Amino acid sequence: MNKIPETHYLNAKKGIWSWLTTVDHKRIGILYLFSVMFFFFVGGMFALMLRLELLTPTEMYIDSDTYNQMFTLHGAIMIFLFIIPAIPAILGNFVLPIMIGAKDVAFPRLNLLSWYIYIVGALFAVFSLVSGGADTGWTFYTPYSTTTSTAVISIVLGAFILGFSSIFTGLNFIVTVHKLRSPGMTWFKMPLFVWGMYATALIQVLATPVLGITLVLLIIERLIGIGIFDPAMGGDPVLFQHFFWFYSHPAVYIMILPGMAIISELITAHSHKKIFGYKAVAYSSLGIAFASFIVWGHHMFTSGQSELAAMIFSFLTFFVAIPSGVKVFNWVATLYKSSISFSTPMLYTLSFLFLFSIGGLTGIFLGALPVDIHLHDTYFIVAHFHYVMVGGTVIAFLGGLHHWWPKMWGRMYNETLGKISCLLIFVGFNMTFFTQFIMGSQGMPRRYHLYVDAYRPFHAFSTYGSWVMAAGFFLMAYYLIHSLFKGKPAGNNPWGALTHEWSITSPPPEHNFEEIPITEHGPYDYDKIVAKSTLVEN
């Protein structure tokens, strides 16, 4: 029988104060887990309310102003408070140091500070919510954002502050990966999750400051009217779009690269197979990180930029597609001659391959200039980024959460319920968003509270899908919380995986390792080593 060890990081120190002042990367990961999931719930509730309102073409229960504030908050909360921190700050914080055989991240106090900065930023967003909400959309386009009478400043300030949280997490990971790898952990023996986190950290550090200064300019413009984005004063509102997308396009990769990083771990651990093309996967992360900086103009094909600029951005955009495609092919090839276990994390991985392929391929439509002109700012775009962000990142995050859940808490969740919930989310998601591709290419514009009757069946079906998805999420919340108290002890290595975190107890001891481990084999040497699953032996 598996047993929970007597002392571990969760009970090494006691009391709420020991949590609020902790510098242990694992505990900080848990702090993030609860705060980020709280905002995921809030953002999700907004999504459900929006979908409900869209069930009918006319006003159902909220007016246009409320609708506009709701989709703004849904977007801003999901992006700045959920997706960006989700994987790096929760799972990255928890497993990255253990994976490379370190006792903590390089700057533990800075790590705690990041969490507090996150909370402060979140409070500003909440303040905006209670003081009437902003109605600009999460993109804050000028001149609308500088002229609307809603509470724009507090939410923009919130996003600005959250940026620092993101920068410090990235900085911490870069230094940790460079300087804290244990003996034998060479760059090419690092698990691909670490590679993905490293590439993400590079973008966080290089792109976020530009968003920071842009948001500061927006705030100053609103406060004292310096006229940078105001056409009446010699400014240019399109300049804001350039500044904004210079950050926010790379930010899309801050969101998806960690998802890809998780998939590389899950697909190997649950099929006990060496990853196909390790170096290709590792380098493609860096390639994507680099390419993400030079494609921002593809968000502005209809903004009236020159034909030359449009051509260059379209050309470059296609080159982001190649490394993403290579990754997908590598994952599929990894399954060849493997030994696949249909555990919940593996189901999420297979869902990811399905959904992310659609998300990625629809990106090609949007890179092609004339097609983009038709599809820009319609529900096709909405569907595309939900397929990438939810079908890609969130599905991978959920897979990772289930994968490392037994390591975090030492207990297993109910696998049957896990599979049912995964299935509900998969079906519900496709119902909700595949429909939106069709209505988008049929011309339904995004951010519409009221709509033309012709789109009604699509909207209705999409709303039904959102209920199926919600059922899956509530089921998941139930069995995960249940497992904290009643779950079976999982043992050190429930999946029979080979990376370092599975060689220590679950939950891990306070300082991870008694002795710094020496890395002898690669992270995916399933052709040489067999690690027994601690679940099977019961």
Partner 1 sequence: MDTTGTFWMPPGNSTIAGDVDSLFYFILYASIIIFVLVVGLSAYFSMKYRRRDGEVGKTDGLDHNVKLEIIWTIIPTILVMIVFVWGFKTYMYMNVVPKDAYEIKVNGQKWFWSFDYPEGGNSVNELIVPVDRPVKLLMASKDVIHSFFVPNFRIKMDVLPNRYSITWFEAHTIGEYNLFCTEFCGKGHSEMIGKVKVVSQEEFEQYAEDLAFSGEGMTLEEFGAKLYIQKACVTCHKIDGSNSTGPPWDNLYGKEEHLADGSSVKVDENYIRESILNPMAKITQGYQPVMPTYQGILKDKQIDALIAYIKSLQEDESLINE
Partner 2 sequence: MSHSQEGHPKFLQHHFSDVEQQRESAKLGMWVFLVTEILLFGGLFVFYAIYRAWYPDMFHNAHLALDVAMGTTNTIVLITSSVTIALGIRSIQLDRQKDTIWYLFATLLLAGTFMVIKYFEYMHKIHLGQLPGEWYHFDGIEGNNPHVFFSAYFLMTGLHGIHVLIGMGLITWLIFRTKAGHFSSKYYTHIEMTGLYWHLVDLIWIFLFPLFYLIG
373 touches which of partner 1, partner 2, none (CB within 5 to 8 A by kind)?
partner 1
CB of 105 to partner 2, least distance (A): 8
* Minimum CB distance to partner 1, residue 87 (Å): 22
Told to check if 289 binds partner 2 by CB under 8 A, we report: no
Nearest distance in Å: CB 369, partner 1: 4
- Using the rule CB under 8 A, give the single segment among 270-278, 306-314, 457-465, 507-515 that binds partner 2: 507-515
Sorted by sequence, the CB contacts under 8 Å of residue 11 that are 6+ apart come out as none
Q: Is the dihedral of CA 62, 68, 73, 78 positive or negative?
A: positive
510, with CB counted inside 10 A (0-12, 13-18, 19+), is middle
Q: Is there binding between residue 37 and partner 2 (CB under 8 A)?
A: no
Q: How far is the CB of 223 from partner 2 (least distance, A)?
A: 10
What's the min distance (Å) between Cβ of 108 and partner 2? 7
How far is Cα 147 from Cα 46, in angstroms, rounded to an integer? 25
Query: Whole-number minimum distance, CB 225 to partner 1, in Å?
Result: 16
Q: Which of 129, 180, 269, 497 binds partner 2 (CB under 8 A)?
A: 180
CA 411/CA 479 separation, integer angstroms: 12
Q: Which letter does DSSP use for residue 497 in this model?
A: -
Phi, psi of 175 (to 5 degrees): -65, -40
Report the C-alpha dihedral over residues 489, 490, 492, 498, rounded to 10 degrees. Answer: 180
Q: Which residues contact 282 (CB under 8 A, 6 or more apart)?
A: 188, 192, 195
Structure tokens at 46: 């907004």
**Which tokens is 158 given?**
């919130």
Residue labelled with tokens 């959250």:
162
Regarding 33 and contact with partner 2 (CB under 8 A), the answer is no
243 lines the binding site for partner 2 (CB under 8 A): yes
CA distances from 43 to 71, 81, 83 (A): 9, 9, 11
Which residue in the set 20, 233, 364, 373 belongs to the binding site for partner 2 (CB under 8 A)? Answer: 233
Question: Cβ-count burial of 339 within 10 angstroms (0-12 exposed, 13-18 middle, 19+ buried)?
Answer: exposed
Report the amino acid identity of residue 313: F
Residue 210's binding partner out of partner 1, partner 2, none, with CB under 5 to 8 Å set by partner kind: partner 2
**CA-to-CA separations, 211 to 79, 109, 199, 504, in angstroms, rounded:** 14, 25, 18, 40
150 versus 172: smaller Cβ distance to partner 1: 150
Tokens 């060689």 belong to residue: 503
Minimum distance, C-beta of residue 448 to partner 1, in the bound complex (Å): 4
**Partner whose binding site includes residue 374, from partner 1, partner 2, none (CB under 5 to 8 Å by kind):** partner 1
108 interacts with partner 2 by CB under 8 A: yes
461 makes contact, choosing from partner 1, partner 2, none, with CB < 5 to 8 Å by partner type, with: none
For residue 414, how many C-alpha atoms fall within 13 Å in the half-sphere facing its CB? Answer: 15
Q: In angstroms, what is the minimal distance from the CB of 112 to partner 1?
A: 38
Please report how close the Cβ of residue 308 comes to partner 2 at its closest, in angstroms.
Answer: 17
Binding partner of 532, given partner 2, partner 1, none, CB within 5-8 angstroms per partner class: partner 1
Closer Cβ to partner 2, 221 or 265, answer by number = 221
* CB of residue 160 to partner 2, shortest distance in Å: 11
Instruction: Check residue 231 for interaction with partner 2 (CB under 8 A).
Output: no
Query: Which is nearer to partner 1, 28 or 156 (by Cβ)?
Result: 156
Query: Nearer Cβ to partner 1, position 93 or 214?
Result: 214
Q: Which among 370, 191, 375 has a CA at the least distance from the CA of 285? A: 191
Per CB under 8 A, 464 contacts partner 2: no
Query: Using CA atoms, how far apart are residues 271 and 181, in angstroms rounded to an integer?
Result: 26
- Residue closer to partner 2, measured from CB, 77 or 84: 84
- Asked whether the beta carbons of 219 and 228 are under 8 A apart, the reply is no
CB 361 within 8 A of CB 324: no
Residue 157 near which of partner 2, partner 1, none (CB within 5-8 Å, type-dependent): none
Residue 262's SS3 state is helix
Q: What single-letter DSSP state applies at residue 86?
A: I
Which among partner 2, partner 1, none contacts residue 516 (Cβ within 5 to 8 A by kind)?
A: partner 2
Answer for which of 86, 95, 99, 102 binds partner 2 (CB under 8 A) is 102
Residue 180 near which of partner 1, partner 2, none (CB within 5-8 Å, type-dependent): partner 2
Interaction of residue 6 with partner 2, rule CB under 8 A: no
Does position 369 bind partner 2 by CB under 8 A? Answer: no
- Max CA distance (Å), the chain: 74
Q: Which residue has the tokens 């060496």?
A: 274
Q: 209 is in the binding site of which of partner 1, partner 2, none (Cβ under 5 to 8 A by kind)?
A: partner 2
To the nearest whole angstrom, how small is the minimum distance from the Cβ of residue 375 to partner 1?
A: 9
CB of 345 to partner 1, least distance (A): 14
Which region among 96-104, 145-153, 364-372, 403-411 touches partner 2 (by CB under 8 A)?
96-104
Q: Is 210 near partner 2 (CB under 8 A)? A: yes
Bridge partner list, 411: 489
484 binds, among partner 1, partner 2, none (CB under 5 to 8 A by kind): none
Contact residue for partner 2 among 19, 41, 107, 478 (CB under 8 A): 107
Question: Whose CA is closest to 88, among 121, 116, 115?
Answer: 115
Q: What angle do CA 94, 469, 252 make, to 5 degrees?
A: 50
Tokens 């297979």 -> residue: 350
Residue numbers of the site for partner 2 (CB under 8 A)?
Answer: 102-108, 110, 167, 171-172, 174-175, 178-180, 205-210, 212-214, 217, 220-221, 224-228, 233-235, 239, 243, 511, 514-516
